[in-house]
Structure 1
Amino acid sequence: MTSPIHLNQFQALIDALNEVLTFVRPADAVLRQFFREQSKIGGHDRRYIVETVYGVLRHAESLTPFAPLHAARRLALLFHMKIEGRSLRDLEKLCSEEELRWLKEVKAAGLPPSLSVQTGLPEWVLEKLKPIYNEQDLLTLGRSMMHEAPLDIRVNTFLVSREDVLNELLGMGLKVSVTPHSPFGLRLEGRPSLQDLILFKKGYFEIQDEGSQLLGVMLAPKRRDLVIDFCAGAGGKTLLIATLMQNLGRVYAFDVSAKRLDQLKPRLKRSGLSNIMPVLIENERDQRVKRLRGKADRVLVDAPCSGLGTLRRNPDLKYRQSAEGIDELVVKQRAILESAAQCVKPGGLLMYATCSILPEENEGQVQWFSEKHQDFELTEVNLPELGMTSGHFLQCLPHQQGTDGFFAAMWQRKMN
């Protein structure tokens, strides 16, 4: 049974939703700031606000036939009535007389039978996906993106075994199981707070989607390799790579953002790893990149991308991204890939990855690079964990592998 909504709860929701619907910043960052500024809002009300904001974003294509995307009050009322199934009696105390009349008018109205409404994906996204997906596949993919993502963690196997962390979490009464594909992942039910746990503070695990973990499995660094994580960000994959190397060799974590690299530092300290070197670079042509030309055994380019593979977590990306923005990203991805390739030594490996589902960011980029660089040969995917032992791409999708949408391909540089 759904809890009744109080007027002050609803007004706080509208205040938060108005800020989110500007789409100037990521929804999670907007909500964090909103709750810092509205510190008197309690835990129950915060959950209601977060769940409703994300519900509106996930189902916006089903709501906007009746109200524009900037109309926070009407979208919230529509979500409660049409998606949650609340009655007009439940909602009338939240409405003006005009809003109540409007709700009565739209209550029985059917949705337009458009593919956008049925998939929850804007038309510009669908147009980019239609060349590779038929209508039924689009429906399945889109609907899978409307569900909330699970909470996955990656066990730091340099310090502790997955079994030990699993047993500790089960002993706390948490509902947790091993991930079906990643050999170091665990999946938790619900949204327990993990960052206050002693296990987390000791560095025994990091929060990381299973699909992201599989990129490390595919890269398969060896213990004494020199590895470059070219777009390291806050270092989730960097830490995994260093762990797989058992704290041997050297991992360079490149990024153009000092703020993101600063987020790596406490994670690195917790991890017990000492083979990672964070390096702030100005751009992909930085002199610090050029010094490693032809020296790396493995280079990972987890490229800046649309992020549309993470719509279960970040549904606002559908509206913060645009077709024009994708064109700009494609140019940036190519520039980074070009520079990263120069760091790979003969016989070494170059991996390109995105958390996108768009072919021009994925297969299109692989085709472009392969045609331009005859000294690199596309390798076969060998991931028995996924039942994949052939093909040139790794493609993870929510409705197939239960992960975020991830894509990866890998080349080997030919020997001179």
Structure 2
Amino acid sequence: MIYPAHLEAIASALAAIFTDGAYADREIARVLKADKRRGSKDRAFIAEQTYNVVRNYRLLRHLAGGGKPKKREDWWRLVGIQLLLEGESLPPWKEFAGLNEKEIQEKWTDAQTTRALRESIPDWLDKVGATQLGELWEPTLSALNEQAPVVLRANRLKATPQEVQKQLATDGIQTEVISDDALLVTERRNLFRTKAFSNGLFEVQDFSSQQAAPALEVEPGHTVIDACAGAGGKSLHLAALMENRGKILSLDIHGWKLKNLKERARRNGVSNLETREITSTKVIKRLAGRADRLLLDVPCSGLGVLRRNPDAKWKLSQDFIDRVVIEQADILSRYSKMVKPGGKMVYATCSILPQENDAQVDAFLASETGQSWTLEHKQTFLPEVDGYDGDGFFVSRLVNAG
């Protein structure tokens, strides 16, 4: 059942996202916390419909008449159109007056002939994707416009995937083991309130993201640097692969992210991890020749994770992509010097654009800094390929001959 309070919450979140530039995940979390009386179904409805409108924003505006939403009632109408497209019946509220299901369905059918409108994406971004991915762009874009699956990584310092699966089942959460460490959640619940989470038995991490740490081919006893660690999901994965032996140095320019990583490391039972904020170029220079392994999960456009962050397509610009490409090349050139002769480096992004992936690796290998390096492995993960149902991701491994 749809309640006015639900629509008020969704409209409030949408206004903040599109008018004030708020991030969708944070805004939805804020709205859900505002009223703790809501049950799990109410919370799920608000979150899902907010994301649905964000995901289909351009298309819904077109179906509503093309104007930019400004008032509370405008946001209600977009939600109403989304619900009609899902086959729901609308209550006879004044905010929905004039919404004709037949007319909306006819306009929706006409919109299917225009890819950027159908998939609800800016024209400039559609052109970038088509230019760089060719015939792969259309199925990739369609897949990226669907709801993201929830995938977990079992923390092998504490439990096997089968043990995690069994523990979660006691809380009514059903999962399917899909790889050595990954579990697909087949019934959505609040994972963060489970004993398994509080005891550090798993982390939420997409399947594609889980490919970065194993690609580095770490061994217990290695000195490993995760140089763009962020909140540290891959650092924690590396610690498990290293069996808590050796040393992991997690670096990032944001100290608050590293603080969160320390908390996650304690919950995960990780004891071989040290964090260090990158406060100047000296931090990198002092680590020259120190690493057996280096992970560079570099800043990127994030086009591979639009399913999780659909608001990103409305915040991105060509200028941002141009700037981040320059930053990626700079990180590759300077940070690679931290690797010992004979050591290895993984360059990874959560982008699907060759400009940020293959082209960056090729340019590095052709540069003066990259003369001692060779490419051992690379793979691009696209959501629509071979039934793969995860994020878009790129991972490559290079070895330093010294």
- The two structures share one fold, judged by TM-score above 0.5: yes
The aligned residue for residue 288 of structure 1 is 283
The aligned residue for residue 170 of structure 1 is 169
Cα distance between partner residues in 1 of 2:88 and 2:287? 60
Give a deviation string over 1:231-288, Cα, whole Å, max 9, x none.
11111000111111111111100011111111111211112221111111114x1x23
SS in structure 2 of the partner of residue 365 of structure 1: helix
Range 370-379 or range 26-35, more displaced: 370-379
Listed as ranges, the matches of 1:226-241 within 5 Å are 226-241=223-238
The aligned residue for residue 79 of structure 2 is 76
The aligned residue for residue 322 of structure 2 is 327
Range 161-170 or range 249-258, more displaced: 161-170
TM-score using structure 2 length: 0.90
Does 2:402 align with 1:403?
A: no
Does 2:125 align with 1:125?
A: yes
Give a deviation string over 1:264-321, Cα, whole Å, max 9, x none.
11211112221111111114x1x23222101211111111111111111111111111
The aligned residue for residue 151 of structure 2 is 152
Q: CA deviation at 1:105?
A: 4.9
Give a deviation string over 1:89-120, Cα, whole Å, max 9, x none.
x2432526xx4167775453243321212334
Cα distance between partner residues in 2 of 1:260 and 1:410? 25
Flag the 1:325–1:374 CA change in 2: closer, same or farther, 3 A.
Answer: closer
Cα distance between partner residues in 2 of 1:14 and 1:94? 15
Flag the 1:374–1:238 CA change in 2: closer, same or farther, 3 A.
Answer: closer
SS in structure 1 of the partner of residue 131 of structure 2: coil
Does 2:358 align with 1:337?
A: no
SS in structure 2 of the partner of residue 8 of structure 1: helix
1:120–1:143 CA contact under 8 A, matched in 2: no
SS in structure 1 of the partner of residue 83 of structure 2: helix
Q: Aligned pair count?
A: 391
Give a deviation string over 1:337-381, Cα, whole Å, max 9, x none.
222111011111121111111222112211221111342433232
Flag the 1:21–1:190 CA change in 2: closer, same or farther, 3 A.
Answer: farther
SS in structure 2 of the partner of residue 95 of structure 1: helix
Cα distance between partner residues in 1 of 2:13 and 2:48? 12
Q: Which runs of 5+ in 2 are unaligned?
A: none
SS in structure 2 of the partner of residue 262 of structure 1: helix
Cα distance between partner residues in 2 of 1:374 and 1:256? 24
Flag the 1:295–1:143 CA change in 2: closer, same or farther, 3 A.
Answer: same
Flag the 1:156–1:265 CA change in 2: closer, same or farther, 3 A.
Answer: same
2:171–2:194 CA contact under 8 A, matched in 1: no
SS in structure 2 of the partner of residue 138 of structure 1: helix
Does 2:372 align with 1:379?
A: no
Flag the 1:53–1:227 CA change in 2: closer, same or farther, 3 A.
Answer: same
Flag the 1:93–1:231 CA change in 2: closer, same or farther, 3 A.
Answer: same
Give a deviation string over 1:177-234, Cα, whole Å, max 9, x none.
112xx41111111321122222222211111111111111111211111111001111
Residue identity in the other structure for 1:323: Q
Cα distance between partner residues in 2 of 1:394 and 1:103? 45
Cα distance between partner residues in 1 of 2:374 and 2:129? 24
Residue identity in the other structure for 1:354: T
Does 2:106 align with 1:108?
A: yes
Give a deviation string over 1:36-68, Cα, whole Å, max 9, x none.
344455543322221111111222242232334
The aligned residue for residue 22 of structure 1 is 19
Listed as ranges, the matches of 1:88-107 within 5 Å are 90-95=90-95, 99-100=97-98, 105-107=103-105
The aligned residue for residue 49 of structure 2 is 52
Flag the 1:374–1:7 CA change in 2: closer, same or farther, 3 A.
Answer: closer
Flag the 1:235–1:64 CA change in 2: closer, same or farther, 3 A.
Answer: same
2:333–2:370 CA contact under 8 A, matched in 1: no
Range 67-76 or range 212-221, more displaced: 67-76
Flag the 1:315–1:394 CA change in 2: closer, same or farther, 3 A.
Answer: same
Flag the 1:101–1:351 CA change in 2: closer, same or farther, 3 A.
Answer: closer
Q: CA deviation at 1:24?
A: 1.6
The aligned residue for residue 248 of structure 1 is 245
Cα distance between partner residues in 1 of 2:188 and 2:394? 26
Cα distance between partner residues in 2 of 1:129 and 1:378? 28
Flag the 1:169–1:101 CA change in 2: closer, same or farther, 3 A.
Answer: closer
Residue identity in the other structure for 2:273: I
Residue identity in the other structure for 1:161: T
SS in structure 2 of the partner of residue 144 of structure 1: helix
SS in structure 2 of the partner of residue 345 of structure 1: strand
Cα distance between partner residues in 1 of 2:158 and 2:238? 14
| 1:268 aligns with one of 265, 269, 285 | 265
Cα distance between partner residues in 2 of 1:166 and 1:86? 34
Cα distance between partner residues in 1 of 2:68 and 2:241? 45
1:242–1:251 CA contact under 8 A, matched in 2: yes
Cα distance between partner residues in 1 of 2:395 and 2:20? 28
Flag the 1:276–1:184 CA change in 2: closer, same or farther, 3 A.
Answer: same
SS in structure 2 of the partner of residue 133 of structure 1: helix
Q: CA deviation at 1:77?
A: 2.2
CA RMSD of aligned residues (A): 2.1
TM-score using structure 1 length: 0.88
Cα distance between partner residues in 2 of 1:325 and 1:69? 24
